[in-house]
A and B are shown apart, each in its own frame.
Chain A
């Protein structure tokens, strides 16, 4: 992925994530004082499922690009940096995929 596209996708993902996060935090704070039945009602809603999966995929994509930036700034050993970047990539794929599997 070239750097310009990375830069643009980083901003685009940020704009999508902002409302998703507002909605999800609000929902989780509400759910934290409700029981399991209420959680079923929330997590089994098809629209919410799609939104949650989207939040995780886009969220980890955004985080992956950000981590690349942070590693670029603070890790000076190229080998260590490469390994860190690969770990970030793996993490950004595995967790959203598990969420997808859990929710379907």
Chain B
């Protein structure tokens, strides 16, 4: 496409955010984040196969404040992408297109992804 200065439609800046559009773009961003997460998992395994000292260094990094923040963020992006993905699958099968249903399912996706992240960490760390 030739890059000219004519205004193009749609003008994303002037639309009010809706749950539908917010979740649509977040689904994509979370998906890309999951790809980064998969890359982190790759390094997790790589350091494990290299040596014990390498692995322990990796664990030190992942247990730092920043490391935990990243891992928690990835846990959320994965939870969100799965719940949002289920919503997309329902649409693919033709369900849930009514505006009210789509709004409610959107809010459910946000809430369940947050709850799931908390449960993951409580269970994973053996706190419950």
Contact = CB atoms under 8 A, between A and B. Distances in A.
Given A70-B28, A102-B45, A59 B71 contact: no
Contacts of A70: 28, 32
Interface in B15-68: 28, 31-32, 34-35, 38-39, 41-42, 44-46, 48-49, 52, 55-56, 59, 62-63
Query: B interface, how many residues as a size bin?
Result: 35 or more
B121 interface: yes
Contacts, number: 80
Nearest to A77: B1
A25 B120 contact: yes
Interface string A76-104: 10000000000000000001001100110
Interface of B: 1, 3, 28, 31-32, 34-35, 38-39, 41-42, 44-46, 48-49, 52, 55-56, 59, 62-63, 71, 74-75, 78, 82, 85-86, 89, 92, 120-121, 123-126
